Amino acid sequence: MLIKALCEYADFLDETGQDMLPEGWGYQYVSYRIMLTPEGDVSNIIDIREVQSQTDKKGKAKTIKTAAKLLLPERTQKTAIDSNTIEHRPLYIFGLELTKDGLEVTSKSEKSHKAFAEHELDFFEGLDSKVCTAYRKFIEKWQPENEKGNALLCDLKNEYKNSYFAFGLTGGAANLEDDEQFKSKYNEHIKCKASEKTDSDDDMLQCSITGEMSAPARIHDKIKFPGGNSTGCVLVGMKEPSFESYGKTQSFNSGISEAAMKKYTSTLNKLLSDKRHRMILGDLVLLFFALKSDDGAECDLFSMMLGETREQQAAKTESGIHDVLKTAFAGSSGDDKAVAELSCDNEVTFYIAGLTANSSRICQKFIYRDKFGAIVGNLKKHQEDLHICNNKRPVYFSDIEKQLISPKSTDTAIPPPLMTSIIMAALNGSKYPVGLLESVIRRVKTDNDEENNNYIKLNDTRAGIIKACLNRKYGREEITVALNEENRDPAYLCGRLFAVLEKIQQESVEGTLNRTITDAYFSSAAGRPSTILPKLMQLSKNHLRKLSEGRAVYFEKLTGEIIGDMENGFPQTLDLDGQGKFIVGFYQQKQAFFQKNTNDRKDG
């Protein structure tokens, strides 16, 4: 489905002329341009990166450099030594490798430079434009062993091995990749290669994507995948004999034509390089697009609902997204006025794919397709389900991810299968995975608030996740948004009682407690209420004596009401769902105390 969707998306771009690449050409990010004299000498190496100012998370201004995006002949997909037409890699161009001792000629650099020289001298033979002549002379004159101390290269330091290069003529008179003589010969070369593939019908097949009879793709182009192999990853690849069938080897088994392969790989590379169309959650990369020529509005809204905002987003759109998210708490449909004001098409087909990198391969974890309006509606319902007490802010997937990780852990990524299940539940409006409830409860029971890390143990996001998991599991509002004094569930009542006992302890001591009953007994009480709560109630009698008569009567009455609602006394043990109800009951009772104190201060 993904490959077909990418090809369909490419067709929409082709209709408008957006990003249509000539056959045999592709984009490459280049940092430096090597300036050549007419005699083929290197006169200078110019930094062609764009300088931009950004503000980091701490608000400090910083300067970053972005490599220039150049249209060059298609890059080689081979991992073995193989030169490109107009090479961009320093190891090939200069034949020098940066080591701890400086620039040196190594076995690899020597073979790379030799392949480069032979390939380029053969291709550029007969081209007599000024820049082509200078390029050919440079190759003929350059001797790597004599250039190890080249000042221009040494000044680059680590940038030498981390950057790519292009060629130009001194004074900016001409750039090699723009030379008309070169482009004419290269385009003719591409046409000859294409005709050679179609001369024989022996290898023709019916493409599984387009349905047309055409030449199959033997090897699929590589994808520049975030966090993947630096040389690129493949979405389709069958190089092991175990993958072969019906006598077909390599990617001939996939049934994808050369044309379809070029279309989907170039489109996937384009989308993955565009932050407007992808988002990274731990090890999972979310890719999303709408089947229309300009899907900017849909992608902006979707990415902001996921939690990512774009600095260049217009203020109108920024305001509009908040209107959309606020309506989530009212449970309105996905085709409301706020979405329409953002110029989104609710009827357009929208795709979301979850991808991860596995060595040199891209693994598709899931792909989801639906009308854009339906997706927005389900995401709004997702926000509504996570809403608890007085929390009015959206809860993004990155917020959920953060709550599943111990603050003391060095591993900041959760398993992609769990993140995938959470996202799919939100998109489908279905039950959340059991692993989500298990992870949140484990974190609540094991984490502790610290002086510099408050509200980690139990906060509105964790409580909201538990509420959402339980309500979707039972298919009804098992737990309300705010405190429900009519809820007679024993686990919920135990959580409320624990909050009351903590409140009594806190009010009985002047100042701040070093250690509350929550710090000492919360985890045990959530699992075995009948063992812990009676002991804490006995302890609370000592605390009640230190309170004023009015406060003591209030807490005694509240405690009596909660215990009176438990028909069978304290439960011996609580299962996972029961522990979740205990935690939410505790949280909502605490929030009710806080809200009452706030209202009392306002009334006073």
pTM over 0.85: no
CA atoms of 138 and 522, how far apart (whole Å) = 74
Amino acid letter, 468: A
Average pLDDT, integer, range 591-602: 70
Please, are residues 169 and 134 in contact by the beta-carbon 8 Å criterion?
yes
Question: Which pLDDT does position 220 carry in this prediction?
Answer: 86
Q: What is the reported pLDDT for 324? A: 57
- The pLDDT score that the predictor gives to residue 335 is 46
**Does the structure show a pLDDT above 80 at 250?**
no
DSSP line for 523-588: HHHHH-HHHHHHHHHHHHHHHHTTS-HHHHHHHHHHHHHHHHT-TT-S-S---HHHHHHHHHHHHH
Across 307-328, average pLDDT? 49
Spatial CA neighbour of 586 closest among 444, 415, 468, 416: 444
Give the confidence band of 282 by pLDDT, cuts at 50, 70, 90.
confident
Q: What is the pLDDT of residue 315?
A: 37
Average pLDDT estimate for 161-176: 91
Higher pLDDT, 444 or 212: 444
Q: Is pLDDT above 60 for 554?
A: yes
Between 480 and 391, name the one with better pLDDT.
Answer: 480
Can you tell me the mean pLDDT for 279-291? 91
341 contacts: CB under 8 Å, gap ≥ 6: 320, 323
Q: Residue 470's pLDDT band (boundaries 50, 70, 90)?
A: very high
Query: Residue 475: is its pLDDT beyond 70?
Result: yes
Decide if 496 contacts 585 (C-beta within 8 A). yes
| The pLDDT of residue 320 is above 80 | no
Question: What pLDDT score was predicted for residue 591?
Answer: 93
Digit-coded pLDDT (tens) for 15-55: 655 556 788 888 899 999 999 999 999 999 999 999 887 76
Torsion (CA) 162, 167, 170, 171 in degrees, nearest 10: -90
Task: Evaluate if residue 94 carries a pLDDT over 70.
Answer: yes
Three-state secondary structure string covering 479-537:
CCCCCCCCCCCHHHHHHHHHHHHHHHHHHHCCCCCCCCHHHHHHHHHHHCHHHHHHHHH
How many helices (H) and strands (E) the chain has is answered by 21, 15
Q: Would you call 467 helix, strand, or coil by DSSP? A: helix
Name the token pair of 4: 């077909």
| CA neighbor of 209 nearest in space, from 246, 245, 258, 249 | 258
Q: Among 56-60, 101-105, 388-392, 529-533, which stretch is predicted with the lowest mean pLDDT?
A: 56-60
Condensed to tens digits (0 to 9), the pLDDT of residues 114-125 reads: 999 999 999 999
**Secondary structure string (H, E, C) spanning 113-151:** HHHHHHHHHHHHCCCCCHHHHHHHHHHHHCCHHHCCCCH
Give the pLDDT score at 175.
95
Higher pLDDT, 574 or 237: 574
Quote the mean pLDDT of the chain: 86
Task: Look at residue 490 in the predicted model and tell me its pLDDT.
Answer: 96
Q: Could you please report the per-residue DSSP string of 275-287?
A: TTSEEEETTEEEE
Of 218 and 246, the structure prediction assigns the larger pLDDT to 218
Q: In the chain, what percentage of residues exceed pLDDT 90? A: 57
- Of the candidates 526, 544, 514, the one whose C-alpha atom is nearest the C-alpha of residue 444 is 526
Half-sphere exposure of 342 (CA within 13 A, CB side): 32
Q: Quick check: 326 pLDDT over 60?
A: no
pLDDT above 70: percentage of residues in the chain:
86
Task: Give 371-433 as a DSSP string.
Answer: EHHHHHHHHHHHHHHH--TT--S---HHHHHHHTS-TT-S-----HHHHHHHHHHHHHT-PPP
d(CA 83, CA 274): 28
pLDDT, position 198: 55
Does residue 497 register a pLDDT over 90? yes
- 248, 264, 240, 251: which is closest to 202 by C-alpha? 248
pLDDT per position as a tens digit, 329-381: 444 444 455 555 567 889 999 999 999 988 788 999 999 999 999 999 999 99
Most confidently modeled range among 11-15, 51-55, 293-297: 293-297
For 393-451, the pLDDT digits (tens) are: 888 888 899 899 888 777 777 888 899 999 999 999 999 999 999 999 999 999 887 75
